[in-house]
Amino acid sequence: MLSKSLFGTDGFRGEYTEQTGPGLLNTETISKLTTALIEFTKEYKILVVGRDTRPSSNALAQAVIQAGATAGVEVWDLGVMPTPGTFKVARHFKTLAVMITASHNPYTDNGWKAAIAGDKLTTGQANKVSDIYWDNLQKTHKPKSAGQVIDKHELSGWYINEVVKDIEREFSAQPLAGKVFVVDGANGATMNYTPVILEQLGAKVYRFACDGVGKINQDCGAANLNGVKDYLKSHSEITSDPNFIGAIACDGDGDRMMGIGILGNNNFVEINGNHVFLALAKGQPGIVGTLYTNSGLVEALNQMGVEFEQCANGDTAVTAALVARQARGDNWTRGGEFTGHHVDTAWLSSGDGVRMAAWFASYVSRQGKTFADIHKELPLWPEAKTTVIINPNAPKIEENATIQQQIKSVKDSLGDKGRIVVRTSGTEPVVRIWGEAKPGTAKIQEIIKDLSKFIQTNS
């Protein structure tokens, strides 16, 4: 147990509990994990702390702040700020950063993400921090001279200004003047950021899930677009406006964004990472995507003469691939995932859904188009995805010979006309199944449905 890493694919995440004990998502673990981070990065003397809007986030953020001060570093309390905003502050001021969030997970969950000078911990770094955490449980620590805790809530305005300046440098002043958008803030960390930025860029913005009355990510946000679709259905006066471009949805911590366009009368089309990807790729020598990147996009990139490199799932993997390219002298700075995580290392080395919302909105508006127009321009291969809840104590499906044989059989039946990816989540007790098939060939929806039933029955 003491050698098990606390970290999944994106930080330490789980269901928040007030129960004490090592390895649980509680204030005790969060405090000691922060101490371990500071010990691992001895040369850094400032720690910035941001959080999202979950009921448990304030208590966990205070545990981080207290741990930092006790460890002798100067602590900057940013208050509620998106993950990319917190990491952007750390990048600019060359500090450590901890973000308290569980991203798109339910409000009952929470988590701990860290960055060094704006760069998220690599897998190797995260494992070393985890090892220090477990080792420290056997030791008694004497507090150092208390570090200073400074209220830095004003840096929310700094981050907003940085995004606005960056967008206007590329698209000129007020690129969204006269345009109309709906913003779904997921009742999360972006609800007082994304709408404000779009307004400063000239847009008229209608807010959904931006008042904090509802629970973070519940029936709202980038991972659940049904909420904003219902809002659009009931507000035809917005969608019928000739200046309406589309709806933008960020997730709970703001490291990704998705969109909604409207074709005709309430015929919704989703703008996912593939559509944003195509826009980001224009003028680029190459771009990095994950194994979930749609083959229709890859075909479009080939036609544009843009090289494509596939990497493992996660924006950390995207960043690692981009950094490797840069080390070889390739001027590749952009990449991302279909779920809406997009990386531009010229801005930040991990996903920034707040900036990307402003960038994509400006890109579309400059061309005199809507999100629906952008959707029509990219014929994607039909996709299907589902999530299977599994017993967290059951053997991994990767070790289940019966399931693995069935997965192989499905892949063989698709051949080169489709793909499926079956992955156990690194942060939740679920198996995610995704697939695509070339238009006019296999019925991917039925294939994924049948496979999910098989996994549920045999796991």
Per 3-state DSSP, the chain is made up of helix, strand and coil in percentages (nearest 5) of: 40, 20, 40
Question: Which CATH number, 3.40.120.10, 3.90.25.10, 3.40.50.300, 3.20.20.150, labels domain 158-376?
Answer: 3.40.120.10
**Using one digit for the tens of pLDDT, what is the confidence trace for 238-251?**
999 999 999 999 99
**Using one digit for the tens of pLDDT, what is the confidence trace for 208-225?**
999 999 999 999 999 999
pLDDT at residue 107, rounded to an integer: 96
Instruction: Supply the pTM of this predicted model.
Output: 0.92
Q: Cα–Cα distance between 61 and 30 in angstroms, integer?
A: 9
Q: DSSP H helical segments within 99-243, as ranges?
A: 123-136, 155-171, 194-200, 226-233, 236-239
**Using one digit for the tens of pLDDT, what is the confidence trace for 34-81?**
999 999 999 999 999 999 999 999 999 999 999 999 999 999 999 999
Q: What number of helices (H) and strands (E) belong to the chain?
A: 15, 19
Could you tell me the sign of the dihedral formed by the alpha carbons of 88, 89, 95, 100, in that order?
A: negative
Q: Where are the domains of the chain?
A: 12-153, 158-376, 383-458
Q: Cα–Cα distance between 295 and 291 in angstroms, integer?
A: 10
Q: In the structure encoding, which two tokens stand for residue 302, read together?
A: 């080939």
Q: Cα–Cα distance between 325 and 138 in angstroms, integer?
A: 42
**Using one digit for the tens of pLDDT, what is the confidence trace for 389-434?**
988 887 788 889 999 999 999 999 999 999 999 988 766 788 999 9
Mean pLDDT of the chain: 94
Q: Is 140 a residue whose pLDDT tops 90?
A: no
pLDDT at residue 417, rounded to an integer: 94
Judge whether 406 and 454 are in contact, CB under 8 Å. yes
Residues 6+ apart with CB under 8 A from 321: 288, 309, 311, 335
Judge whether 2 and 131 are in contact, CB under 8 Å. no
Choose from 134-148, 313-327, 354-368 the range with maximum mean pLDDT: 354-368
At residue 41, the 3 state secondary structure works out as coil
Q: In the structure encoding, which two tokens stand for residue 33, read together?
A: 């994990």
Task: Quote the crossing angle between the two packed helices 444-458 and 401-414, to the nearest 10°.
Answer: 170
Q: Is 309 a residue whose pLDDT tops 80?
A: yes
At residue 115, the 3 state secondary structure works out as strand
pLDDT at residue 3, rounded to an integer: 54
pLDDT at residue 1, rounded to an integer: 41
At residue 12, the 3 state secondary structure works out as strand
Residue type, 444: I
Query: Mean of the pLDDT values across residues 6-28?
Result: 93
**Using one digit for the tens of pLDDT, what is the confidence trace for 80-121?**
999 999 999 999 999 999 999 999 999 999 999 999 999 999
* Reported confidence tier of residue 313, pLDDT bands at 50, 70, 90: confident
pLDDT at residue 426, rounded to an integer: 66
Asked if CATH classification 3.30.413.10 holds for the domain at 12-153, the reply, yes or no, is no
Could you tell me the sign of the dihedral formed by the alpha carbons of 165, 121, 258, 107, in that order?
A: negative
The CATH class of the 383-458 domain is: alpha beta
Distance of CA 77 to the CA centre of its chain: 22
Rounded CA Rg of the chain: 22
Percent of the residues in the chain that have a pLDDT greater than 90, as a whole number:
88
**Using one digit for the tens of pLDDT, what is the confidence trace for 258-287?**
999 998 777 899 999 999 999 999 999 999
Q: Cα–Cα distance between 216 and 57 in angstroms, integer?
A: 11
Q: Do domains 158-376 and 383-458 have the same CATH topology?
A: no
At residue 6, the 3 state secondary structure works out as coil
